[in-house]
Chains A and B, each alone.
Chain A
Amino acid sequence: MHIALEYAGTIGVGGLKDVALTVVSLILSIILGTLFALGRLYGPWPVRTLIYWYVEIIRGLPAILQLFIIYFGFTQWGINFSPLTAALIWLVAYGTGYAVEIFRSGIMEIPTGQREAAAALGLSSRTTMIRVVVPQAYAIMLPPLTSFVVLQLKNTTLLYLIGFADIMYEARLGVDATNHAAILYFMAALAYLILSLIIGRVGVRLERNVAAYR
C-alpha cells in the first residue's frame, strides 16, 4: 500500500503534464482543424486534395509511428526536437487530422436554409460563415468532440516512449525501481479513468449549454 502512496504524487504530477499538453494541443488543433475543414469544403481543388490526403495519412498510420517519425525520423535529416516539442507537434498534427473530419461533418449538417436565410438578410458569405454556420457547427460537433478529447488524452500515454515525463513514464520509473507492476499500472489506469470521467461530465454540461443553438 505504501508504494501506492509513495508514487501517487509523481503520477499525479505526470497527470497534470498530460492534461496541460492535451489542453494546449486541443486548442491549436481545433483552430487548425476549423481552417482545414473550411479549406477542404470550399478551397480550390489542390487545397482540397492536399487536406484530404493529410487526413487519410493521419488516420491511416499508427499513432506511435507518427510520433516516432517526428521524434526519431527527423534526426536523420539533422532536425532534433526535444521530447516536449515533438509531443506537441505530434498531438497537434494528429488532432488536426481528426478535428477536420469532425468539423467538416458539423458544417455539412447545417441546413442550406440557414445559409439562404443569411443571404436573404444581406449578410456577406464571410459573415454568414463566421456568425451563422460556424457557431451552429460547434454545437453539433460537441458529442464527437468530447470523444476526441478523450482520444487525445489517451494518446498522451505514448509520450513516455520518447521520454516525456507523463503518467506512464512515472509509473514505469516506479515499476523499474520497485517491481510492483500491478499496483502502479493500475494507478495509471485509474488516473486516466478519472480524467475521462471528468471530460465526459464537462462534455454533457456543455451540450446542455449549447442546446439553444441547435
Chain B
Amino acid sequence: MQTLWSAWMQYLPLLLRGTAMTVELTAAALVVGVLFGFLLALGRLSRVPALDTLATGYVEVVRAIPVLIILFITYYGFAELGLVLSGITAAVVSLGGFYATQYGEIFRGAILGIDRGQTEAATALGLTSAQTMRRVVLPQAFFTILPPATNQLSNLIKDTSLVFTISVADLMYQANSALSVNFLPMDMLLEAGVIYFIFYLIIAKVLGRWEVSVQRRRN
C-alpha cells in the first residue's frame, strides 16, 4: 500500500503536466469544432445547392472515418504532400474537423427544431426579424443544443487521448512514459484513468444536472 501511494504521488506532477496539455487541446479543438460546426450547419441549411452539397458531403464522409485515421492523415499524410504540421496543430485540426461534424448536426437539428409558430407569434407581436432571432429563436435553440453539446464535449476530452500516437505530450502520453520507466502499467494507467474520470464526472454529472435544472426553471 505504501509503495502504491508513493508511486502515485511521485508521478502525479508529470501526469498533471499532461493533463494541462489535454485541457488546452480540448479547449482549442472545441473552439474550432463549434465555429466550423456552425458554418457547416449554415451550409446545410443554405438555399445555395452547392453549399448544401459541400457541407453535407463533408459531414457524411468525415463522420464515418475513425478519429485516429483522420489524425494520421493530417499529421503524416499532409506532411508527405508538403504541408508539415506540428503535432499540436495536427491534433487541433483533426479533432476540430471531426467534432465540427458532430456540432454541425446538433446546431442544424436545434435550428430546425424550433417551432415555426414561435416565429409567427413573434411577428404577430410586432418583433422585427432580428429581434425574433435574438430573443425568440436563439435562446430556445441554445437550450436544445446544450445537453448534446455537453455530451460531445466529454467525447472530445476522451478522444484527445489519441494524440499520444503522434507524440503530443498529453495525459495519456505522460502515463505511457511513466509506465515505461517504472514498470507499473496498472498503477499509471489507473491514475490517468482517475483524472480522466474526474473530468467526465464534472462534465456529465455536474454540467448535465445544472442544464436539467435550468431547463426546468425555464418551463
Taking Cβ atoms with an 8 Å cutoff, the residues of A that contact B are 56-57, 59-65, 68-69, 72-77, 150, 154-155, 157-158, 161, 168, 175, 179-182, 185-186, 188-189, 192-193, 196-197
Beta-carbon contact of B196 and A61 below 8 Å: yes
Beta-carbon contact of B73 and A186 below 8 Å: yes
Distance between B70 CB and nearest chain A CB, rounded to angstroms: 8
Beta-carbon contact of A65 and B186 below 8 Å: no
With A72-B179, A76-B186 in contact, is A157–B77 under 8 Å at CB?
Answer: no
Distance between A49 CB and nearest chain B CB, rounded to angstroms: 15
**A56: which B residues are within 8 A, CB to CB?**
200-201
**B72: which A residues are within 8 A, CB to CB?**
181, 185, 188
Interface size class of B (residues with CB under 8 A): 35 or more
Beta-carbon contact of B186 and A77 below 8 Å: yes
Rounded to whole angstroms, the CA-CA distance of A158 and B162 in the bound complex is: 9
Beta-carbon contact of A73 and B200 below 8 Å: no
**B65: which A residues are within 8 A, CB to CB?**
189, 192-193
With A59-B200, A60-B197, A185-B69 in contact, is A68–B77 under 8 Å at CB?
Answer: no
Top 8 A-B pairs ranked by shortest CB distance?
A60-B200, A181-B76, A62-B161, A182-B77, A73-B186, A154-B66, A157-B66, A62-B158
Listed by A's residue number, 9 A-B pairs whose Cβ atoms lie within 8 Å are A56-B200, A61-B200, A62-B158, A69-B189, A154-B66, A181-B72, A181-B79, A192-B65, A193-B64
Q: Does B80 contact A (CB under 8 A)?
A: yes
**B187: which A residues are within 8 A, CB to CB?**
76
**B158: which A residues are within 8 A, CB to CB?**
61-63
Q: Does B49 contact A (CB under 8 A)?
A: no
Beta-carbon contact of B184 and A76 below 8 Å: yes
With A68-B189, A182-B78, A196-B64 in contact, is A189–B69 under 8 Å at CB?
Answer: yes
Instruction: Name A's interface SS.
Output: helix
Q: Does B81 contact A (CB under 8 A)?
A: yes
Q: Does B59 contact A (CB under 8 A)?
A: no
Distance between B214 CB and nearest chain A CB, rounded to angstroms: 23
**A161: which B residues are within 8 A, CB to CB?**
165
Which of B61, B159, B201 is A60 in contact with, Cβ under 8 Å?
A: B201
Distance between A205 CB and nearest chain B CB, rounded to angstroms: 18
**B200: which A residues are within 8 A, CB to CB?**
56, 59-61
Which of B165, B172, B179, B184 is A62 in contact with, Cβ under 8 Å?
A: B172
Beta-carbon contact of B196 and A65 below 8 Å: yes
Q: Which of B64, B81, B179 has the most CB of A within 10 A?
A: B64
Beta-carbon contact of B189 and A73 below 8 Å: yes
**B197: which A residues are within 8 A, CB to CB?**
57, 60-61
Which of B164, B172, B176, B186 is A74 in contact with, Cβ under 8 Å?
A: B186
Rounded to whole angstroms, the CA-CA distance of A197 and B79 in the bound complex is: 29
Residue of B nearest to A66 (CB): B193
Beta-carbon contact of A69 and B64 below 8 Å: no
Residue of A nearest to B76 (CB): A181
**B79: which A residues are within 8 A, CB to CB?**
181
Beta-carbon contact of B161 and A175 below 8 Å: no
| Given A63-B158, A186-B77, 11 more pairs with CB closer than 8 A | A60-B201, A61-B197, A65-B175, A73-B186, A76-B186, A157-B69, A158-B68, A175-B76, A185-B72, A189-B69, A192-B66
Distance between B77 CB and nearest chain A CB, rounded to angstroms: 4
CB interface residues, B 34-73, toward A, < 8 Å: 61, 64-70, 72-73
**A64: which B residues are within 8 A, CB to CB?**
161-162, 164, 172
With A60-B200, A76-B187, A181-B72 in contact, is A193–B61 under 8 Å at CB?
Answer: yes
